[in-house]
């Protein structure tokens, strides 16, 4: 199959979170299965810098874009995947984060930036940008590419479309005026299109107009159809449930492999687990914690936003640090959480080390050096760090939600006895439940060493490689291509209950773009 994979980020060229990890590895895994997969990204400065040789294959005049947009072609690093870059300097040639300005607020022209990206993708999808290649299926990801299925739905003959929701809370919501300014087709301003409570929703365009929907874990696929997780889109998602599939993300086992990890001084595998203690000592030294081999060293890495539950960790510290426990946290995001973490580190200098910032090598060292990894996310579409943790023999302690519930098997009498346990899960998402899970982990850690290492090794042997998930995507692509009718111009006639977006218990309000 010819597949055009569309994303606003892909590791190692540009990454702000899990979307970057997935877009950096799934296209390669699909290519390995015998498909012609091409990845399309915006031509951000760092992408251009690291993408290798590029040639211009088209210059497009797109409505809504003030200048012609160049399509550049090259090769995605370390793969056989071909790369298209959408080069619109006025939109993408700027330093910093792809979505937000230095002060953390969204780029004010995000609607125009990602509408241009979408229009360039539509040109590629219809063979107007690269006359030598047209896709059978266009795979879009998150709100930044949500207009692609909406715009393609206007065309009689078009490739099939599949839209993956990586996080429903990032919606690309803009005032109605943006719809007019972008010169989008009038027919899209409807309940069946991009209109969402009198606003323009890029995400809704993807959900309402794509032929098939996926999200990144089976449990999250069910959760988003409920009021608690649906952000007012649950009616539409429930309506589309027959065309909604949850496929668990895989992980890149070359980038995240403790046996070959270039960021580690002491690599290891299941046969050399004694090296894990060396990584623990090195991490304690690097982050200024006492070299205490007996303490349970907990790690946490993530965006400092309400979703990830760092405030739950903060609220347990006074009790947690009565125990022989140390904690290292790497993250950046909301200022209030950053300053609360810094204050806590000053209060507990021997037990808490905080590193504010984005640091890929340190993330690898935390995965290798910690005994346990905390993920108290209020909701988690898939989550990658718990999979990296399992692979690195670092026992995850997770809130039982979304992809965390799908990947971590709680230790209880039965799962301990038959050696199927891989970690500790807790519910509800409260400091008390988190503390209880940490206490259970500590007790197990202080108990039989043989039992602890069995728990560690069971996790390390789990297969979270892309091969299984890529095969599931491929089967779905084939099915979608078979059922997609030709000539279905315009969004469908959806008849689903409209639910006003309500304030959600414990959830942050919908946001325009990823925070970093
Ligand atoms: P999300 O996509 O919601 O941010 P995921 O768990 O799916 O969460 O993926 C997060 C990815 O970003 C992981 O690879 C994680 O290691 C990485 N990451 C997050 N914050 C940081 C940070 N401050 N430094 C280094 N890597 C980070």
Nearest CA to ligand 1 atom 6: 383
Contact 270, 263 (CB under 8 A): no
Q: What's residue 312's pLDDT?
A: 98
Pocket of ligand 1 (CB under 6 A): 17-19, 21, 167, 301-303, 330-332, 358-360, 363, 382-385
Nearest CA to ligand 1 atom 20: 302
Q: What's residue 504's pLDDT?
A: 41
Query: What are the φ and ψ backbone dihedral angles of 219, each rounded to 5 degrees?
Result: -65, -40
Mutate which of 11, 18, 356 to test ligand 1's pocket (most atoms within 8 Å of Cβ)?
18
Closest ligand 1 atom, residue 360 Cα:
25
Q: Which fold has domain 274-460?
A: Rossmann fold (3.40.50)
Closest ligand 1 atom, residue 380 Cα:
3
Q: What's residue 176's pLDDT?
A: 97
Q: What's residue 505's pLDDT?
A: 39
Domains 2-250+468-480 and 274-460 alike in fold: yes
pLDDT per residue as tens digits for the range 195-209 = 999 999 999 999 999
Nearest CA to ligand 1 atom 18: 302
Nearest CA to ligand 1 atom 26: 360
Count of alpha carbons within 13 angstroms of residue 123, beta-carbon side: 23
Mutate which of 355, 368, 385, 507 to test ligand 1's pocket (most atoms within 8 Å of Cβ)?
385
pLDDT per residue as tens digits for the range 60-101 = 999 989 999 999 999 999 999 999 999 999 999 999 999 999
SS (H, E, C) 117-163: HHHHHHHHHCCCCCCCCCCCEEEEECHHHCHHHHHHCCCCCCCEEEE
Q: What's residue 102's pLDDT?
A: 87
Q: Which of helix, strand or coil describes residue 227?
A: coil
Instruction: Say if residue 516's pLDDT is above 50.
Output: no
pLDDT per residue as tens digits for the range 289-306 = 999 999 999 999 999 999
Mean per-residue pLDDT, 146-174: 97
What is the 302 CA–ligand 1 centroid distance (Å)?
Answer: 5
Residue whose tokens read 């909406």: 150
Nearest CA to ligand 1 atom 8: 18
**DSSP assignment, residue 104?**
S
DSSP secondary structure letters along 460-491: HT---BHHHHHHHHHHHHHHHHHHPPS---S-
Mean per-residue pLDDT, 463-481: 96
Q: What's residue 36's pLDDT?
A: 98
Q: CA–CA separation, 436 vs 414, rounded Å?
A: 19
In terms of Cα–Cα distance, which of 378, 384, 403 is closest to 306?
A: 378
Q: CA–CA separation, 251 vs 259, rounded Å?
A: 15
Instruction: Say if residue 162's pLDDT is above 90.
Output: yes
Q: What's residue 103's pLDDT?
A: 86
Q: CA–CA separation, 306 vs 327, rounded Å?
A: 19
Mean per-residue pLDDT, 104-115: 96
Q: What's residue 507's pLDDT?
A: 46
Q: What's residue 510's pLDDT?
A: 53
Nearest CA to ligand 1 atom 22: 358
Q: For the chain, how many helices (H) and strands (E)?
A: 19, 18
Cα dihedral sign, 187-188-192-198: negative
Instruction: Say if residue 357's pLDDT is above 60.
Output: yes
Instruction: Say if residue 314's pLDDT is above 60.
Output: yes
Q: How far is CA 87 from the centre of its chain?
A: 24
Closest ligand 1 atom, residue 367 Cα:
16
Domain boundaries in the chain?
A: 2-250+468-480, 274-460
Mutate which of 303, 368, 386 to test ligand 1's pocket (most atoms within 8 Å of Cβ)?
303
What is the 483 CA–ligand 1 centroid distance (Å)?
Answer: 36
Mutate which of 8, 9, 301, 310 to test ligand 1's pocket (most atoms within 8 Å of Cβ)?
301
Q: Does domain 2-250+468-480 have CATH number 3.40.50.2000?
A: yes
Mean per-residue pLDDT, 175-203: 97
pTM tops 0.85, yes or no = yes
Q: CA–CA separation, 440 vs 437, rounded Å?
A: 5
% pLDDT > 70, the chain: 94
Q: What's residue 104's pLDDT?
A: 83
Q: What's residue 489's pLDDT?
A: 38
Per-residue burial over 383-407, b if 16 or more Cβ lie within 10 Å, else e, is bbbbbbbbbbbbbbbbbbbbbbbbb
Q: What's residue 492's pLDDT?
A: 44
Question: Which of the four pLDDT bands, split at 50, 70 and 90, describes residue 487?
Answer: very low
Q: What's residue 511's pLDDT?
A: 54
Range in 94-98, 194-198, 472-476, 504-508 with the lowest mean pLDDT: 504-508
Mean per-residue pLDDT, 430-436: 98
pLDDT per residue as tens digits for the range 6-51 = 999 999 999 998 999 999 999 999 999 999 999 999 999 999 999 9
Instruction: Say if residue 499's pLDDT is above 90.
Output: no
Q: What's residue 4's pLDDT?
A: 98
Q: What is the mean pLDDT of the chain?
A: 94
């Amino acid at each position: 199959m010819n597949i055009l994979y569309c994303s606003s980020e892909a590791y190692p060229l540009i990454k702000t979170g899990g979307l970057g990890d997935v877009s950096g590895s799934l296209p390669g895994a699909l290519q390995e299965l015998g498909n012609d997969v091409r990845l399309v990204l915006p031509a951000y400065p760092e992408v251009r810098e690291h993408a290798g040789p590029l040639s211009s294959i088209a210059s497009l005049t797109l409505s809504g874009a003030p200048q012609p947009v160049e399509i550049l072609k090259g090769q995605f690093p370390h793969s056989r995947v071909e790369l298209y870059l959408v080069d619109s300097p006025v939109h993408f040639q700027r330093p910093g984060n792809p979505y937000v300005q230095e002060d953390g607020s969204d780029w004010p022209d995000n609607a125009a930036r990602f509408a241009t990206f979408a229009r360039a993708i539509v040109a590629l999808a219809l063979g107007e940008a690269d006359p030598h290649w047209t896709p059978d299926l266009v795979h879009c990801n998150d709100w930044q590419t949500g207009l692609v299925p909406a715009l393609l739905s206007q065309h009689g003959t078009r490739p099939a479309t599949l839209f993956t929701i990586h996080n429903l809370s990032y919606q690309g919501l803009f005032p109605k005026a943006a719809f007019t300014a972008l010169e989008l087709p009038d027919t899209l301003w409807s309940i069946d299109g991009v209109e969402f409570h009198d606003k323009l929703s890029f995400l809704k365009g993807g959900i309402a107009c794509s032929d098939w929907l996926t999200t990144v874990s089976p449990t999250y696929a069910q959760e988003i159809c409920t009021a608690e997780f649906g952000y007012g889109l649950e009616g539409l998602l429930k309506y589309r449930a027959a065309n909604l599939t949850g496929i668990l993300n895989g992980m890149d086992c070359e980038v995240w492999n403790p046996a070959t990890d270039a960021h580690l001084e002491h690599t290891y595998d299941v046969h050399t687990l004694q090296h894990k203690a060396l990584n623990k000592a090195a991490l304690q030294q690097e982050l200024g914690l006492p070299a205490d081999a007996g303490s349970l060293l907990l790690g946490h890495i993530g965006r400092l936003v309400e979703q990830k539950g760092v405030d739950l960790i903060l609220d347990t510290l006074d009790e947690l640090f009565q125990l022989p426990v140390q904690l290292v946290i790497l993250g950046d995001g909301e200022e209030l959480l950053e300053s609360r973490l810094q204050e806590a580190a000053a209060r507990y200098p021997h037990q808490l080390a905080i590193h504010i910032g984005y640091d890929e090598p340190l993330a690898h060292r935390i995965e290798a050096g910690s005994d346990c990894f905390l993920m108290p996310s209020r909701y988690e579409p898939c989550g990658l760090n718990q999979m990296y943790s399992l692979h690195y023999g670092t026992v995850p302690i997770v809130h039982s939600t979304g992809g965390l519930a799908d990947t971590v098997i709680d230790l209880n009498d039965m799962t301990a006895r038959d050696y199927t346990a891989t970690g500790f899960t807790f519910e509800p998402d409260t400091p008390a439940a988190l503390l209880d899970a940490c206490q259970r982990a500590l007790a197990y850690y202080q108990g039989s060493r043989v039992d602890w290492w069995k728990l560690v090794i069971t996790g390390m042997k789990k297969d979270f490689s892309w091969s299984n998930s890529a095969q599931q995507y491929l089967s779905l692509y084939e099915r979608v291509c078979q059922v997609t009718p030709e000539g279905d111009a315009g969004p469908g006639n959806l008849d689903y209950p409209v639910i006003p977006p309500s304030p959600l218990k414990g959830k942050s309000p919908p946001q325009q773009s990823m925070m970093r």
